[in-house]
Amino acid sequence: MIHRKSREEIKLMKEAGHIVALVHQEMKKVIKPGITTFELDKIAHDIIKDNKAFPTFLGYNGFPATICASVNEQVVHGFPSKDVVLREGDIISVDVGATYKGLVGDSAWTYAVGDIKPEIQTLLEATEKALFAGLSKVKNGALLEDASGAIEDVAKEYNLGIVRQYGGHGVGRNMHEEPFIYNYRTGNNLVLKSGMALAIEPMLNLGVDDVYVLDDDWTVVTKDKKCSAHFEHTVIVTDDGMEITTKL
């Protein structure tokens, strides 16, 4: 069942989203060669706690950290670690959630570490473009399929792999709510309604679609070990479009 959010819930989701945006604003500043993903996790944790919120991911199904820190061929759900030192030319997806007074904000962004190869820069730009293409189709009365299809079209335009086992989702009092949101067309005829809260999150690969999970039972990596990018915003469906709660 899809729960349409009340005015008060939306207000709290906007606050949660703002806190998530604060984390990403800081990530932009501190991500550089030499920093560890453990340090990034600590920074994110402190920002969320300082703003009277709780790290949504911490402890979720046993997840051990505040952020998912996924480097290069890691698609999603990478563990932060003192042993993972970012190097010039890397990319890192930072996925983070904050729960404020019971409501969740959830957003991911992929960052370049120093100078990156042109093809990887194109991957990042195309995946961000896919996110906003999907968001542009979100409004009251539209089909969810329109957002999925817009993401797929950008992926095909740039000849990028589409991660098919993972996607976006409803969000609110829980991090994962209905509906599941594919990043390609599936024939879904769900009609969007004002007050729905959605996390739209394309994950696109420089190579093939195929991914698999490492032995830690969390970290998802591309089968061909080529880089993957991940961009996500939480949005509220409105009568004439959508409102981003996690806007940077």
CATH assignment of the domain containing 229: 3.90.230.10
User: Is 2 a member of any domain?
Assistant: no
Question: What pLDDT is stored for residue 165 in this prediction?
Answer: 96
> How does pLDDT run across 110-139, given as a tens digit for each residue?
999 999 999 999 999 999 999 999 999 999
User: Is 172 a member of any domain?
Assistant: yes
* Residue-number span of the structural domain to which 113 is assigned: 7-244
What is the C-alpha separation between 229 and 125, in angstroms, rounded? 9
- In this model, does residue 28 exceed pLDDT 90? yes
pLDDT band at 1; cut points 50, 70, 90: confident
**Residue 42 contacts by C-beta under 8 Å, 6 or more apart in sequence?**
none
> How does pLDDT run across 61-92, given as a tens digit for each residue?
999 999 999 999 999 999 999 999 999 999 99
Kindly report the average pLDDT of the chain as a whole number.
Answer: 98
Q: Take residue 232 and report the two structure tokens written for it.
A: 């996500």
pLDDT band at 170; cut points 50, 70, 90: very high
Give Cα separations from 85 to 23, 30, 71, 154 (angstroms). 19, 13, 10, 32
Three-class HEC string of 131-171: HHHHHCCCCCCCEHHHHHHHHHHHHHHCCCEECCCCCEEEC
Question: What pLDDT is stored for residue 248 in this prediction?
Answer: 83
pLDDT band at 185; cut points 50, 70, 90: very high
CB-facing half-sphere around the CA of 208: CA atoms within 13 A? 8
What burial class does residue 179 get, using C-beta atoms within 10 Å of its C-beta: 0-12 exposed, 13-18 middle, 19+ buried? middle
Length of the chain: 248
Domain count of the chain? 1
Q: Take residue 205 and report the two structure tokens written for it.
A: 């690969």
Q: Take residue 47 and report the two structure tokens written for it.
A: 């920002």
**Residue 240 contacts by C-beta under 8 Å, 6 or more apart in sequence?**
139, 140
Collapsing DSSP to helix, strand or coil, 111 comes out as strand
User: Is 215 a member of any domain?
Assistant: yes
User: Is 82 a member of any domain?
Assistant: yes
User: Is 1 a member of any domain?
Assistant: no
Is there a contact between 203 and 112 (Cβ–Cβ < 8 Å)? no
Question: What pLDDT is stored for residue 80 in this prediction?
Answer: 98
Question: What pLDDT is stored for residue 78 in this prediction?
Answer: 98
Please list the helix, strand and coil fractions of the chain in percent, rounded to the nearest 5, in that order: 30, 30, 40
Residue with tokens 């979100």: 138
